[in-house]
Amino acid sequence: MMRTWQSARRLLPLIAVFGMVLAGCGREDLSVLRPQGPAAESSLGLMKLAISIMIVVLLIVFSIAAYVMIRFRRKPGQNETPEQVEGSFKLEVLWTVIPLILVIVLAVPTVRTVFALGDNHSGDKNAIKVKVTGHQYWWEFEYPDYGIKTAQDLIIPAGKDIAFELTTNDVLHSFWVPSLSGKIDTNPTGATNRFSFSAPKEGVYRGKCAELCGPSHGFMEFKVKAVSNDEFNQWIEAQKAPAVLPEDPALAKTFKEQCLKCHAVGDQGLSVGPNLTGIGSRQSVAGILLNDDTRQDGAPVEENLKTWLHDTQGVKPGNRMPDPSKDMGLTGDEIDRIAEYLAGYKLN
Amino acid sequence: MDWITTVDHKKIAILYLWAGGLFFGIGGIEALLIRWQLIKPMNDFVDAQTFNELITMHGTTMIFLGVMPIIFALMNAVIPLQIGARDVAFPFLNALGFWTFLFGGLLLNLSWMMGGAPDAGWTSYTPLSGTAYSGTHGVDFYTIGLQIAGLGTLIGGINFLATIITMRAPGMSFMRMPMFAWTTFITSAIILFAFPAITVGLVLLTFDRILGANFFVPGGGGSPVLWQHIFWIFGHPEVYILILPAFGIISEVIPTFARKRLFGYSSMVFATILIAFLGFMVWAHHMFTTGLGPVANALFAVSTMLIAVPTGIKIFNWLFTLWGGSVRFATPNLFASGFIPTFTMGGVTGVMLASAPADFQFHDTYFVVAHFHYVIVGGLVMGLFAGLHYWWPKMFGRMLSETLGKWTFWTFITGFHLTFFVQHFLGLMGMQRRVFTYLPNQHFDTLNLVSTIGAGLMGIGTLVFLTNIIVTSKKPPDAGDDPWEDGRTLEWSIPSPPPEYNFKQTPLVRGLDAFWKEKTAGNKGMAPAEPIGSIHMPSATPLPFIMSVGIFIAGLGFMFSRDHFGSALVSFLFNNYIVTGLGLLITFGAMLMRSLYDDHGWHIEPGELEGR
Ligand code: HEM
Ligand SMILES: [Cu+2]
C-alpha cells in the first residue's frame, strides 16, 4: 500500500506544475481548482494525481501515434507488402501490466479518500448541524440545535465541521459548493443523505444545484458565508429575535396576509417559501440577484427585491411563488414599499 | 414501394442510414441551438423550458435515433458480407426491426409538434419526469417512443447474434472472424442483456405516468433511486453498445490502410469480451453522489478503473498495427488515426471520473459533458465517419471524393476539439451541466464562446460530408470490387455494390483475413465451398411496415387515453382504449397473416446467375 503511494509521489514535480497552471483557473470562491477547505482539497489532490498519471499516458500514446504516422507513411512508389506480424506476447503483456499498475496507483488513494470523506460528523458534539432541504428552486437551511431556519444564505462558523443532513421537498437536487467540497444529492426523506465539510477561512463561497430540477435549475444558486464564532452566535440570536413588521399598519397587514401565507419572518408566518428574516443583509435575492451596493457585480438589495417582486417568473422561470400583482393583488406601490421594508430588515 | 417491402439486408442498411442520418441532423441542429444559447451569459435566445426540451431531445435523439441506427446501418451492410452469408438469419425480422425503430423515432419527435417535448433529461430521473413535475405529454413521448424504438434494437441484436452464430461461411471459425463481426457479435449480446432492463424501466415509468402507479414516486412509497439503478444498469452497457462497433470499424480500417494484419488479434477479441463484461458491473459509477455509501462507491470506483486495462490493450494494438506498416492516409484512415488520440483523451478522463471522491466534483458538470462527448463524438462519430467513408463504395458502388473527405476530417476534428476541450475547464471552474444560462463574471464567458465557435465548425464539417454524398451520387458508379486495393475481408471479394444474393457461391475461408490470404497466395478470388446452384431468396413483404404502423397507433392511443378532446367522439375513442385496440389489431392482424400464409420465398436459378 505505502509503496504504491510512494511511487505516486514521484509524480510530485509534475503535480506541482499542474497545480500552478490550474490554480490560475476560475474564481477563488467558486472554482474546484482553487479549494478553500479540506474536503475540496482532498478531491483536488486526487484529481491532480489522476491528471498527472493521465498526462503521462497521453504523452506516451501521442508520441507513439505521431511517430508511427510520420515514420510509416507510405511514400510514392513504395509498393512492397510489410511483414504480417501476428502480435507479440511480450509487448501485449507489457501494455496489460503497465495500465494495471497505473490503475492501482490511483485506486489506493481513491479508496482511502472515499472512506475519509465518508465521515459525516453526525454524532460529533462540536459540529454544527444543518438540515438542508432542496426546493424548486431555492435552498432551505435549518439549524435544529438552535431552532432556526434560513434560506439561500448558509451562515457557518469558520473552522468548524458542519454536519449536513440533506433531503428534498420535491424533485432531486444536488448540493454543491465547488470551492469547499464535492456535491451530494438531495433525495426525498427515507433516503436522507449526510455529509460534512468545513471552511477554515472566513468568506463567501458560491454554491450551486447540480442536478437537473426543472427550468430554473441553472438559477438554483446559494451562498455559503463563513464567519467568526462570535459573529455566528450573534447571527443566531438575531435570527431568534421577534419579527420586525412594516411600520405602516396597513402595509403590515397586507404583508402578513399575503406574504406570510408562505414566508416567515422571525416568529411569524410559515416556511412554505424561503424564510425572510433579515433578508436585507443577505448576499443575494432569490439566490441569483447579487446584492452589491457598489453595483459592480449586481445591484443594491432594494433594487433586487423590486426586480424580483415585480417579475418573479422573469427572474426565475417556473418558480413556484405566486405573482405579487397578478395573483396576490398587490399594487405596484405596495410592492415597492414592501421591497423597501425588506431591504431595511437587517440583522446587524 | 420497393423500399417499404424490402427484406434485403443491404437495402435495410441504406434505410437505416438515411433514417439515422435524418435524426442525426435533427440532433445536430438541437446541439447547435443549445450552443447558441450558451454563447454568452444571460442569453435569452431560447427560454428555460425550451432549453430543457432541447437538451433532453438532443441526448435522446443522438443516442437512440442518431448513432445507433447508423451503427446498425453499417452492421447490416457489412456483417453478412464479412462472414460470407447471403443475408441475415431472419430477413423479415430485420425489416421489422428497422420499421419499429423508425416509427418509435417519429413518435418521439412528434412531441415537438404535439404540445411539448420531453424535458427531464435523457436520463429522465424521477420525480422530475413524473406527472407532478413534468405536466405535458413530453415524457410520455419519451417512454413510449423509446419503447417502440427499443423493440427494433432488440430485434436487430438478436438477429445479428443468430446470424453470426449460424451463418458463417465454411472455414470461418470464431477466431477467424473479422474484428467488426466480433464487435457486432459482442454488441448484440450486450443489447440482449441490457435492453430488457430499460424496457422494464420504461414500462414502470409509463405505468406511473399514465395509470397512476407509484413505482418511482416518493410520496406513494416508490423510490427515485430505484429508477437510477434500472436506468444505469441499461445505460452503462449502452455506451459500450455504442463504442464497441466503433472499435470494430477502426480494427478493420487500420489494417487495410497499413497493409498489415491486426496486431494481437486474439488479445483484441479477449479485450472486447472483457470490456463488455465489465461494462455490466459498473453502472453505479453514474451514481457516486446519490449517497450509496463509501463501500459501494469504493467497489464501483475500482471496477470502473479496471476497464482502462482492456481499453489500453486495444489502443496499443492499433498503434502497433501501424508500426512497421505501409500507411496510406485515405479519408477512412484519417478518421481512424484521428480516432486513436481523441478517444484516448476521452478514456483517460473516464478513469479520472472513476475516482469517486474526485467525481464528487466532476459529476453533473461540464467536465462530464466534455468526457462523454470525447467518447461518443471523438470516438464513436469519428469511427462512424471512418466506416462510412470506408464502406461507402461497397454500399453504393461509388467512391466518395477524397478532397471533400479530407475537408470533412479537418474541419470536423478541429471543431470537435475546440468545442469540447475547453468544457473540461468550464466544469472544473464550477459550471454545472444542463443549465439554460449562467450569470456573468464567473469566468465562464470566453470558454463558452470558444465552445460555440467549435460547434459551428463541426456543423460545417458535417455539411461538407453531405455535399460529398450529393456530389458523389451524381457521378456514375466507379468503384471496383476491392476499391482500396488492400481489402482483407470477404466483402471486398464481391462486386460493389453486391448483387442481391451477395455470393454466387459461398466462399471457403482458409484463414484470418480470408480475402487477403487468397490474394497473397496469387489467387484471383475466393475458392468456392459449393457448386453453383439455385439460391433461395426471401420474398418482399409490407407486413413489417404495417405491424410497426399498428404499434405506432397503439402507442399514441395509449398515451392520450386520459385526455379530453374538443370532440366527444374523439374523446370516446381514446378514453376507451379504442384507438389503442385498433393499433394492436393492425399489428396482430399482420402477425396472423404472417403465420397463416406460408411464404416460401423464391429462387434465383443457376442460368440467371450465369447470365450476368
Ligand atoms: C454536433 C456536435 C454536438 C454538440 C455541439 C453537442 C453539444 C451538447 C451540449 C451543449 C449538451 C448540453 C450539455 C448540458 O448542459 O447538459 C449536450 C448534451 C448531450 N449530448 Fe451532445 N453534442 C453534440 C453531439 C452529440 C452526439 C453525437 C451525441 C451522442 C451520440 C451526444 C450526446 C449527448 C447527450 C447524451 C447529452 C446529455 C443530454 C442530457 O443532459 O439529457 N451529443 N450536447
Ligand atoms: Cu437543480
pLDDT in tens, B580-598: 999 999 999 999 999 998 7
Span B219-236, average pLDDT: 93
Q: Which of B289, B349, B441 is the best residue to mutate to test the A interface, defined by the most A CB atoms within 10 Å of its own CB?
A: B289
The count of residues in chain B is: 612
Of the pLDDT bands very low, low, confident and very high (cuts 50, 70, 90), residue B76 is very high
User: From the CA of B147, how far away is ligand 2's center (Å)?
Assistant: 27
CA-to-CA separations, A145 to A69, A125, A194, A229, B166, in angstroms, rounded: 66, 11, 16, 16, 70
Query: In this structure, is residue B475 part of a structural domain?
Result: yes
**B533 touching chain A per CB within 8 A:** no
- What pTM, to 2 d.p., does this model score? 0.93
Say yes or no: CB of residue B35 within 6 Å of ligand 1.
Answer: yes
Question: Which ligand has the shortest distance to the CA of B434?
Answer: 1
For residue A190, count CB atoms less than 10 angstroms from its CB and return exposed for 0-12, middle for 13-18, buried for 19 or more.
Answer: exposed
- Using the beta-carbon criterion (under 8 Å), do B442 and A30 form an inter-chain contact? yes
Residues A126 and A196 in one domain: yes
The mean of the pLDDT values for chain A is 91
Q: Which ranges in B397-491 belong to alpha helices (H)?
A: 402-428, 445-474
| Residue B435 alpha carbon, nearest atom of ligand 1 | 15
Average pLDDT (A48-67) is: 95
Q: Are A150 and A32 part of one and the same domain?
A: yes
pLDDT mean over B15-27: 97
Is A172 inside any structural domain? Answer: yes
Across chain B, mean pLDDT equals: 94
Ligand nearest to the CA of B418: 1
On the 0-12 / 13-18 / 19+ scale of CB atoms within 10 A, A286 is buried
Closest chain A residue to B123, measured at CA: A212
The amino acid present at A299, given as its one-letter code, is A
A243 found inside a domain:
no
Give per-residue pLDDT as tens, A197-226. 999 999 999 999 999 999 999 999 999 999
| Nearest C-alpha in A relative to B124 | A212
The pLDDT score that the predictor gives to residue A2 is 44
Q: Looking at the structure, do residues A216 and A261 belong to the same domain, yes or no? A: no
Residue A325 sits in the same domain as residue A254: yes
**pLDDT, position B131:** 92
Look at B344 and A57 and tell me if their CB atoms are within 8 Å. Answer: yes
Residue A152 inside a domain? The answer is: yes
Mean pLDDT, residues B567-573 taken together: 90
Give the count of Cβ contacts less than 8 A between chain A and B. Answer: 288
Would you say residue A150 lies in a domain? yes
Which one of B361, B428, B446, B448 would you mutate to disrupt binding with A, by most A Cβ within 10 Å of its Cβ?
B361
Using the mean position of ligand 2's atoms as its centre, give its distance from the Cα of residue B289 in Å. 14
CATH number for the domain spanning A305: value is: 2.60.40.420
Residues A203 and A253 in one domain: no
B21 lines ligand 1 (CB under 6 A): no
Name the minimum distance, in Å, from the CA of B251 to any CA of chain A: 14
Distance (Å) from the alpha carbon of B569 to chain A's nearest alpha carbon: 35
Domain boundary among A195, A228, A261: A228
Q: Look up the CATH number of the domain holding residue B461.
A: 1.20.210.10
Q: Where are the alpha helices (DSSP H) in B38-110?
A: 48-60, 68-82, 91-110
User: What is the average pLDDT across B309-323?
Assistant: 96
Asked if residue A158 and residue A105 are part of one domain, the reply reads yes
Same domain for A221 and A188? Answer: yes
A119 within some domain:
yes
Q: Which ligand is nearest to the CA of A209?
A: 2
pLDDT of residue A11: 55
Q: What is the 8-class DSSP label of residue A262?
A: T
Residue B583 covered by a domain: yes
A254 and A105, same domain (yes or no): no
Q: Domain count for chain A, please give it.
A: 2
Q: Do A114 and B357 touch (CB under 8 A)?
A: yes
B444: pLDDT strictly greater than 60: yes
Chain A contacts in chain B segment 123-142 (CB below 8 A): 125, 127-128, 133
Does residue B414 belong to any structural domain of this protein? yes
User: Which residue, among A260, A312, A262, has the nearest Cα to A286 in the 3D structure?
Assistant: A312
Which residue lies with its CA nearest to atom 35 of ligand 1? B59
Percentage above 90 pLDDT, chain A: 80
For residues A220 and A269, membership in a common domain is answered with no
Least confident of B114-118, B186-190, B450-454: B114-118
| Residues A192, A53 within the same domain | yes
Q: How confident is the model at residue B562 (pLDDT cuts 50, 70, 90)?
A: confident
Q: Which domain holds residue A332?
A: 249-344
What is the structure's pLDDT at A1?
A: 40
Banded model confidence at residue B332, pLDDT cuts 50, 70, 90: very high
In a domain, A340, yes or no: yes
What is the span of the domain harbouring residue B591?
Answer: 9-514+543-610
pLDDT at position B483 is 95
ipTM, two decimals, is: 0.93
pLDDT of residue A10: 55
CA–centroid distance for A297 within its chain: 19
Query: What does the DSSP assignment read for B510-578?
Result: -SSSHHHHHHHTT-SSPPBSS----EEEPPP-SHHHHHHHHHHHHHHHHHTTT---SSHHHHHHHHTTH
Q: Are residues A155 and A187 in the same domain?
A: yes
pLDDT above 80 for A279: yes
Question: Is residue A201 a part of any domain in this protein?
Answer: yes
Q: Which residue has the higher pLDDT, A5 or B524?
A: B524
CA-nearest residue for atom 34, ligand 1, is B59
What sign results for the dihedral spanned by CA atoms A27, A28, A33, A39? Answer: negative
Residues A164 and A47 in one domain: yes
Does residue A69 fall inside a structural domain?
Answer: no
Q: How many domains does chain B have?
A: 1
